[in-house]
Structure 1
Amino acid sequence: MPDFDYDLFVIGAGSGGTRAARVAAAHGAKVAAAEEYRVGGTCVIRGCVPKKLLVYGAHFAEDLQDAKRFGWNVPDCDFDWKTLTRHVFDEVDRISEAYGSTLATHDVEVIREHAELTGANTVRLASGREVTAGTILIATGARPQIPECPGHEFGITSNEAFHLPAIPRRILIAGAGYIANEFAGIFHQFGAHVTLINRTDVILRGYDESVRDRLLQISMMKGIQFRFHAEFRGIEQQDDGSLKVMMTNHDPVEVDCVMFATGRIPNTQNLGLAAAGVELTDKGAIRVDEDSRTNVPSIYAVGDVTDRVQLTPVAIREGQAFADTQFGGKPTRVDYGCIPSAVFSHPQMAGVGLTESQAKTKLGSVKIYTSDFRPMKNVLAGRNERALYKMVCDGETGRIVGIHMIGPDAAEILQAAAIAVKAGLTKDQFDETVALHPTMAEELVLLK
């Protein structure tokens, strides 16, 4: 057996890489993880964690108004963006340190340098040191994609959104996925005039049509503007510092900030992949098999860099499965079926399983059950905003193949409901469950 410096060398200490390193070390492997930025990766540092904290902060805009209808004498309140972001960054620091402490507790050596492959079992660090490992795992994640248009350097991405010195008075967001819609809701609640542009006329492709249409309706009712079939033609900076955005099929728009939310691309640059002979897909992701192994037997990859499913919990599952399989003697593969997902928009969207159109294509015979209602809190608050719950069932067996919803706390409710879909429960079993009243979630067992 060759004598290596490490049993496992992980490049990238985000959610997937950290889980893989920790679990492999717990199985007895000698592990090192190289991270050139901060331990925690996109989710902890500049993704779902800080963004969700901004979502919480943004909700207070409506909550403070609603409180007046509930008898609270709430004065007009000012919002301080810098106070919020300061506390958000403090929490990010805390979680990042916790990730690092977890690795240290499991005797994982954290190397805070850039690392790149020089061969199937060799890695060169930025300092020039070269190390060897029996197995190498790449978990470098993905980064925001920036459109190629004149003036694109004047725009920002979700990475920079957290570091804005103030809330822009007018912001244009390019894209129609979850990042675009979440930040549209955040900035709108903080008082910005928001315009969202998209190349097509579909938002949140992949989510159930009726649920995403409801979000579009509510967003427009709140005052968010949408421009569809609009592609960038250029961005010009004006003398007063504002930005003039030119696009197809629409008149130019003048704003104070442009944010690109047009997708994320795998971080495969400057990793030495070609030198090690690692193959990429047509989209530039690392090609892997069901065990996260590349075409080079000693090199693996997990998380967004593989572009399978770009979700943090999936990267964690992949890291766990890799470590258990390679170092724990417990062969494990990730099941990519029935993965729940959510959009932390205003209001939230969440879904699991097949959409109505997907079910009709796959199963032919389907039955759809819905509840279109006004949550009790919205009624008393005088807020004309309706929730929509939708259950998609196999028409022959009654098995639930999908649940989709939009409304307050939709993501929290769906997490439990996703278990039922994964377990293959039927509509009859939901009907047999006594409702927990008065709640929004009870609508799931009262669907007609």
Structure 2
Amino acid sequence: MAFDYDLFVIGGGSGGVRAARIAAAEGGAKVALAEEYRMGGTCVIRGCVPKKLMVFASSYPEAVEDARAYGWGAQLGAFDWPKFRDQLAEELTRLEGIYRRNLQNAGVTIYDQRAVLADPHTVRLADGQTFTAKHILIATGGRPFVPEMDHADKVLTSNDIFGLEKLPGSILIVGGGYIASEFACILHGMGVRVTQYYRGAQILRGFDDEARGMVAEGMRARGIDVSCGTDVLSLEPAEGGLRVRSTQGHDTVFDQVLYATGRRPNTEGLGLEEAGVSLGRNGEVIVDDWSQTAVPSIYAVGDVTDRINLTPVAIREGHAFADTVFRGDKRKADHDLVPSAVFTQPELGTVGLTEEAAREQGPIEVYSAAFRPMRTLFAGRQDRVMMKLIVCRETRRVLGCHIVAPEAGEMIQLAAIAIKMGATKEDFDRTVAVHPTMAEELVTLRTPVRRDD
């Protein structure tokens, strides 16, 4: 059977774009890609890129305060949100253009509209056009989840933050994951009064307990009202915003309410199940290690599979798919020892097992140091940072590394290389420290603070 395309990609985010480019430019495939919103996906348009730029913007008040402590006559004026917002929009448009040009330069045909499956080899566009493809890749990403409740249409999600007409005076952020916690710190740094409700015992569930406890302490010390064990009972419109009643008995009016209570894969209405593709309980596309679904011609990568929902992982999955199917280089995406960072204030970088997870696998040693870093100590701030290594007692391999500190993401990227290579604690010990730095603690930790007998 002759097909219109060798590959049709549905979704123009990081995973789909990488797969399309490699298949076309290096695999010689005839490729098309359909995107119904903007090229670049969640990360570029309404995720990690604009969020990180907001992190930078929100960090200047503390930087100016520290500058005064160092002798500079520094003053900080009011934050001009409209100016920042408009410049941010321009930057995202620039990045979107790069994604689009890279696809076009690779020879990929772009359709700027929604696409759904008609059958295992046929895609139908919103304008009614249909195309056949030997292979179809689902890369539609995810979307914020808001629970069903009265007046849910009046709350914000992470998608809405970047285009606000003005910053609120006060905001309630519901959720305790990395998105909720990052935006709590960002908006606080921009001058918003921030309250965060999380129904669990501690924010950042799934991260190392000691590390997430230190992040929570740092957030509270900066003036963010982090209220754990708390959820929303009801909300209703009120003069000046939304009135929120909590499980703790609080009845408070906030200018805005942001829900960051998880994300769901974008699989609704795509015709996946009708084509024979299996979906999980969360709506995710079920795939094997090769990113292949139960239908041999259909694959899926990125957040829509709900494996590890990180942009670099989606890119690796898309690249591995293209290499395997179109370049004759059979390769699986590696989901082991994936580093990540949470851009809170303080920042958290992590790779490998948490102390709790490592202990379930066997005896471990825990090396940890918490201290006041030189830079902010001199400025009179009470900030504390933490460097932590989890070591297998039997093999001496470093199983996990957790850093709570400014620029923790930069540090964990380098530590992850050593840990991915199988470094032992003694390998760390043999490495000469760079002094004076915060990260030198990783190679000067000598005595375990906890040890399983």
Shorter chain as denominator, the TM-score bin is: over 0.9
Report what 1:213 is aligned to. 213
List aligned pairs for 1:18-417, cutoff 5 A: 18-26=17-25, 27-238=27-238, 240-363=239-362, 365-417=363-415
1:299 corresponds to which letter in structure 2? I
Question: 1:399 and 1:315 mapped to 2: Cα distance?
Answer: 28
Q: State the 1:232 CA deviation.
A: 2.3
Q: Is the 8 A contact 1:149 1:233 kept in 2?
A: no
Q: Is the 8 A contact 2:219 2:226 kept in 1?
A: no
1:25 corresponds to which letter in structure 2? A
2:203 corresponds to which letter in structure 1? I
Q: State the 1:275 CA deviation.
A: 2.5
Q: State the 1:14 CA deviation.
A: 0.2
Question: 2:444 and 2:277 mapped to 1: Cα distance?
Answer: 52
Question: 2:206 and 2:134 mapped to 1: Cα distance?
Answer: 39
Question: 1:397 and 1:118 mapped to 2: Cα distance?
Answer: 52
Question: 1:389 and 1:91 mapped to 2: Cα distance?
Answer: 35
Question: 2:367 and 2:258 mapped to 1: Cα distance?
Answer: 38
Question: 1:311 and 1:145 mapped to 2: Cα distance?
Answer: 17
Runs of 4+ in 1 over 3 A off after TM superposition: none
Q: State the 1:233 CA deviation.
A: 2.1
Report what 2:438 is aligned to. 440
Q: Per-residue displacement from partner, 1:111-160 (whole Å, max 9, x unpaired)?
A: 10110000010011111111000000000000000111111111000000
Q: Per-residue displacement from partner, 1:240-275 (whole Å, max 9, x unpaired)?
A: 232101222331221000001000000001211132
TM-score, normalization: structure 2? Answer: 0.97
Question: 1:77 and 1:232 mapped to 2: Cα distance?
Answer: 35
Q: Give the gaps of 5 or more residues in structure 2.
A: 447-453
Q: Is the 8 A contact 1:435 1:446 kept in 2?
A: yes
Question: 2:225 and 2:201 mapped to 1: Cα distance?
Answer: 13
Q: State the 1:228 CA deviation.
A: 2.3
Q: Per-residue displacement from partner, 1:70-111 (whole Å, max 9, x unpaired)?
A: 111112422101111112111111111001010011000111
Q: Is the 8 A contact 2:176 2:203 kept in 1?
A: yes
Q: State the 1:317 CA deviation.
A: 0.5
Q: Is the 8 A contact 1:149 1:232 kept in 2?
A: no
Q: Is the 8 A contact 2:240 2:254 kept in 1?
A: no
Question: 1:40 and 1:242 mapped to 2: Cα distance?
Answer: 33
Question: 1:51 and 1:231 mapped to 2: Cα distance?
Answer: 25
Find the residue that maps to 2:427 and give its secondary structure: helix
Count matched residues. 445
Find the residue that maps to 1:368 and give its secondary structure: strand
Q: Is the 8 A contact 2:7 2:31 kept in 1?
A: yes
Question: 2:216 and 2:433 mapped to 1: Cα distance?
Answer: 30
Find the residue that maps to 1:276 and give its secondary structure: coil
Q: Is the 8 A contact 2:10 2:16 kept in 1?
A: yes
Question: 2:100 and 2:418 mapped to 1: Cα distance?
Answer: 35
2:444 corresponds to which letter in structure 1? L
Q: State the 1:416 CA deviation.
A: 0.4
Report what 2:449 is aligned to. none
The 1:22–1:246 alpha-carbon spacing in structure 2 relative to 1, beyond 3 Å, is same
2:62 corresponds to which letter in structure 1? E
Range that drifts further, 247-256 or 110-119: 247-256
Question: 2:438 and 2:346 mapped to 1: Cα distance?
Answer: 14
Q: Is the 8 A contact 1:116 1:125 kept in 2?
A: yes
Equivalent pairs: percent with the same residue?
49
Find the residue that maps to 1:168 and give its secondary structure: coil
Q: Is the 8 A contact 1:211 1:349 kept in 2?
A: yes
Question: 1:379 and 1:434 mapped to 2: Cα distance?
Answer: 24
Q: Per-residue displacement from partner, 1:331-350 (whole Å, max 9, x unpaired)?
A: 00012110111100011001
